Chain A
Amino acid sequence: MTVAAEANPAEHYAAYLGAIRSGDRRRAFQIIDEARDAGLDLAAIYLGVFQPALREIGSLWQNNELTVAEEHLATAITQAAMARAYERAFTWRTDGSRKLIAACADVERHEVGLRMLCDLLDLEGWHTTYLGAAVPIDSLVAMVRRLRPDVVALSAALSPHLPRLRAMIAAIRDALGDTRPLIMVGGRPFLDDPSLAERLGADLTAQNATDAVRLLGERVSRAR
């Protein structure tokens, strides 16, 4: 869509932040519908509206300007708004060959970044399996064995979850050896220091969901 290049996420971002800050779900949905109508594609809405809005909500909480309840509400509204935006962008087109399994190392919350990656890959024709947070490691490994994905994407939002992330990677490597999938990691600790990815046994990391989609497109071939 040529309109997308002209559409500016910044104005939608400000309005969207105002809506989730005050817990107004209807208004938040309306703003995202308007952003779609203005020509913003899903990636622009995810990275230009949702992601900066949630980061700002986190800062507002840190500065004691929002309560934990208000922060959770803003996240819940955003998850619903993401599902709604995804539904509107959805197509049945798939190449059916490239597969990815995604799981968060965190035991709670902070699942939004990985959800964004899965949605954007879906639109590129990938088959993604999103498991969210708190997946037991043995059950993750069993699913990797069964589905044989090209990629396993793992995220850790906070450094205390890194030991669990490393254990997940080690378990996948142990179980599948040479036939293991490509392992991608993401989250705040890897933004601060991308070299951590390799130290934890992963193959690659990316700065955001769009970069991850591009990187995986280059690394994983379509036809098999």
Chain B
Amino acid sequence: MDSVTVEGRAAAELLARKTSLAQTATDALYADMPELTTRYGAVGRERCLEDIRYTIDHLIPAIDLTQPSMFTAYVGWLDDLLRARNVSTREVIRSLELIEQAVRNELAPDEANVVASFLRAGLDSLGAVRREG
């Protein structure tokens, strides 16, 4: 990762803080949507944490290589996968928004802005899917 560009720094920060960012976003999602606990239980919460970590795993190379399509393709894939398991697009959207919130709290503003723009590209791609569907 290129430490000179803001994308390189943002990707490196995401990698370094992946665990705590995923935990923060998962806690926030469950605080925000308490019905998830009754619906999915403790196992569901573990899965959710794994999924959010996996999302950050896919966010990192997309930012590092400044390739938003790499992340939007992943988001589409994830949404299909989760909908097949009765997890709604609304929950995926909320998780992306809460990753952004966690990133804004932990990363420098310029790095957080870069990460946010990639997350927004992912959110936009889900919006497109919803309009069509």
| Contacts from A to B (Cβ < 8 Å) | 62-65, 158-160, 162-163, 189, 192-193, 196, 199
Contacts and interface: CB of A to CB of B under 8 A. Distances in A.
B57 A160 contact: yes
B85 interface: yes
Interface stretch (B27-35, B65-73, B109-117): B65-73
Contact of A64 (B70, B77, B84): B84
A196 B69 contact: no
Task: Give the interface size bracket for B toward A.
Answer: 10 to 19
Nearest to B56: A160
B42 interface: no
Interface SS majority for chain B: helix
A159 B61 contact: yes
B62 interface: yes
B84 A160 contact: no
B59 to A, nearest CB: 9
Interface of B: 1, 57-58, 60-62, 64-65, 67, 69-70, 73-74, 77, 80-81, 84-85
A192 B73 CA distance: 9
Contacts of B64: 162-163
A192 B84 CA distance: 24
A101 to B, nearest CB: 24
Given A63-B80, A64-B84, A199-B65, 5 more contacts: A64-B81, A65-B84, A159-B62, A159-B74, A192-B70
Nearest to B86: A64
Given A62-B84, A192-B70, A193-B67, A160 B77 contact: no
Q: Which 7 A/B pairs are nearest by Cβ-Cβ distance?
A: A64-B84, A160-B57, A159-B61, A162-B61, A63-B84, A62-B81, A159-B70
